[in-house]
Amino acid sequence: MRPFWLVLNKRAVLSGLVLLVLLALIAWGGGRLMPRGHGKMQPQEMLKTALERTKASGSFRYQAETRLTTAGKSSVDFFSQVEGERVAPDRVRMKGLLMNTPVEFIQVGDSSYFKDQQTGRWITLPGNKLADSELFYAELNPLAYFNFKDIPELKYKGEENVNGEKLLLLEMRPNLMDPFLELRLTDYYFKVWLSPADCRIRRATLQARDKYSPQNGIEINLRFWDYDKNITIEPPAVN
């Protein structure tokens, strides 16, 4: 009987080991499919949390690049390329290229300030909150692109290494809340990268097609950093 029981015990041990290996593989695979620290979140909940935390930030810095596209390919020339800072609730500073022209802008409360690039003097426009204008969303208020009416298609694509930083990738096709953004453009497609540490937006790419010329469109690349940092934006000295 002793050899028989040894064989049975070996089989039981081997079966147990196989089961443990399978459980370990399942747990490992599950960890890869869902983000660390947000493992119980569904994509909808993950996105909702990211939008709430990002929009609730007291300050942040951002970079925005806008290009026109033809037949799905980006134009070599930048339509705009800027870097900026925002401090809640109504302070913005931006500098860069707008339609390939140097521009520098400051918004404090209800007053806007433009810098004359030829003279170096600041020009004030009191009573104008241009930072909230639909015409300059990408350059002055990039989070306005994340006001969604609904999101028919949303997928979590896992972790992705972006410039040495591990981020969580969501892909979606939303309908935007602002009718101005859908006046000329349609078929929006977003890729949004979130930080696994605080579940806030770090990067985003937006693509949309022209309603009246579907082979043409627009591509916007956004980057966000320095959330809740001590950023000071004051009105410039106006001559």
Distance, CA of 153 to CA of 52 (rounded, Å): 20
What range does the domain containing 25 cover?
1-33
- Return the minimum-mean-pLDDT range out of 27-41, 115-129, 137-151, 187-201: 27-41
Same-domain check for residues 114 and 221: yes
Please state the pTM of the whole predicted model: 0.80
Domain membership of residue 233 (yes or no) is no
Q: Which amino acid is at 225?
A: W
Q: Which of 79-83, 85-89, 135-139, 157-161 has the lowest mean pLDDT?
A: 135-139
Q: Is residue 152 part of a domain?
A: yes
Percent of the chain beyond pLDDT 90?
61
Instruction: State how many domains the chain has.
Output: 2
Give the whole-angstrom CA distance, residue 80 versus residue 85.
16
Does residue 190 carry a pLDDT above 60? Answer: yes
